[in-house]
Each structure stands twice: as structure tokens, then as C-alpha cells.
Structure 1
Amino acid sequence: MATSESLKPSYIYKLIPSSAPPPNPLPPILPVSELDRSSGFIHLSTAAQIPNTLKFFFTDETQVYVLRIPYDPLDAKIRWEDPKAEVCGPRGGEGLFPHLYNDLKLGSGEVESVGTWARNEGESWDDVIGKTKDWLIY
């Protein structure tokens, strides 16, 4: 039987639309999206959750920025919850997402790297993910 420790991801990811590109270089604290501000936490995804996050929340985007964030340093500040933070559960539980509760602070100190993913006309996000499989760490 898998334990919650064995389900711990190496990385978690923040998806950012092309309309709000992260500054380069990344500042110590990034601007906060309206969704994160109104939720009171930073919405994140595991590598396995990225395909559906893109399909449901980034449908109209042709480019996104993907922030790769090492999980271990943030472990104590992460809650595993449903998208609306109404149901909590164990790490990696089905349908539960990592939510960062740290006064909405995410920046250069937490982000290991930034990927720029773009899809061409006729491409799906799954096509793009297939091309970035070496960068996306499960």
C-alpha cells in the first residue's frame, strides 16, 4: 500500500497565462493572479494534473508559462484540497490539488525554472506536453 510520503511529488507547478507573463528575471515575489488573491492561496498543480488544468482553465490560451517549483521546501505550507478548498485530504489524493498557503508569496526563491509552452494552430495542450516531457517531472 502506498503511503502519503511515497505520493509526495518532486515538483509542483504554477501555470500562468500569456496575458500575465512573469518578469524576467523573476522577482522575489511575483504578482498574484485575481483567482489566487480571491481564493487566499496560490493554486498549483502536480505534473499529472497539468493536462486537465490546461484543458479546463487555459482553453483559449496559445501560450502559457509553467513555473517548476521544488516541493520539499514548501511541504509545510501546502494543503491538498479540491479546487475550491472545500475538501481536504492526503497528499496526492484523487482530485486534490496542492494549494500554497504562505500569504500569496511565490517568487525567485521558490521557483527552480520557467518553461514557456506554446501551441501552434491545430495543436492540443497534450501535443505540447508531449514535446516537453523531459522538462515536466512527475
Structure 2
Amino acid sequence: MATPSATTPTYIYKLIPSAAAPPDPLPTALPISPLDQSSGFIHLSTAHQIPNTLKFFFGEHTTVYILRIPYDPLEKHIRWEDPKAEVCGPRGGEGMFPHLYNEFKLGKEEVESVRCLERVDGGWEEALKDAEAWLVY
């Protein structure tokens, strides 16, 4: 499915909690999270969606890794879908989310770079500010 906006993203992002930190160097295929396994696809975000994804799904974590993935090579495997509001309620203004449907292959061939974010004083704002130049909107 084509992107739901007029602008095709340069990158899409996968957030991973520190407990499931990506190994260095990245393997051909990263381990699949239980959520991704049960959903049947890999949950991804755009740079614009990362703050609320951190807030709603990574609030109990102090460290999160973000994988930056070039969009164009994966475009044919991406479906832009509405987030289910069952977990955190409506996420107005964030638009459709990219979901990767490629039999769970996400690894060294797809990931361009990795960034580690550390939560400060109970929030992600400072870490996101430090990563601002790396996150491409």
C-alpha cells in the first residue's frame, strides 16, 4: 500500500526495549518480539510517531534502542495501517503506522543505523531532543 501522506518517508523506525537489545553486529534477522509474532507483522513508526510510541509502550523501560531503516527498499513489504486503540486509546494526529509484512526479516541488510535512548527523569523528552538530528521527519 502506498504511503498515506503526500510525502514518502526517508526512514522508518523500529523501537526495541533494552532487555531485547539488538546484538552488535546485527544479525541477518533480529529476534521477533512477542507482540510482532502475535500480530503477524513487525510494528514500525515514523519519526513523528516515536514520542507517543515511547510514551505508551516503553514507559516502564529506561533504555530503548531505535533502528533506523531506509524506507525505499522495504516499501513493497510495508502496509500503512490504523493503530488499534485498544491498548492506549486513540492516537489522533499520528496518522497511519507502517507495518512490515515480509515474514519477519529485519536485520543487518535492512537497518542503516541504531541509536540508544536513555529515559531521563521519568520521560523521553531529553533523549528525543538529543536524537533530533538523527530522527528524519
Superposed pair shares fold, TM > 0.5:
yes
- Give the TM-score of the pair, scaled to structure 1: 0.86
Q: How many residues align?
A: 127
Identity of aligned residues (%): 64
Task: Measure, in 2, the Cα distance between the counterparts of 1:137 and 1:95.
Answer: 17
- The RMSD of aligned alpha carbons is 1.7
Contact 2:47 / 2:135 at 8 angstroms: preserved in 1?
yes
Partners in 2 of 1:131 and 1:95 — Cα distance? 24
1:127 maps to 2:126: yes
Deviations 1:2-40 (A, max 9, x none): x95732100000000011111100001000000000000
Structure-2 separation of matches of 1:37 and 1:51: 23
The Cα offsets for residues 74-123 of structure 1, whole Å up to 9 and x where unpaired, read as 11110000224xxxxxxxx9531000000011000000000011123x15
Query: Quick check: 2:4–2:96 contact (8 Å CA) kept in 1?
Result: no
Structure 2: where are the runs of 5+ without partners? 85-92
Question: Which letter does structure 1 place at the counterpart of 2:34?
Answer: E
Q: Which residue number in structure 2 is paired with residue 38 of structure 1?
A: 38
Name stretches of at least 5 consecutive residues in structure 1 with no aligned partner. Answer: 85-92
Please list every run of at least 4 consecutive aligned residues from structure 1 whose deviation after the TM superposition is greater than 3 angstroms. Answer: 3-6
1:13 aligned to 2:17?
no
TM-score, scaled to structure 2 = 0.87
Secondary structure in 2 matching 1:50: helix
The answer to whether structure 1 residue 103 and structure 2 residue 108 are counterparts is no
CA shift in 2, pair 1:94/1:55, >3 Å: closer
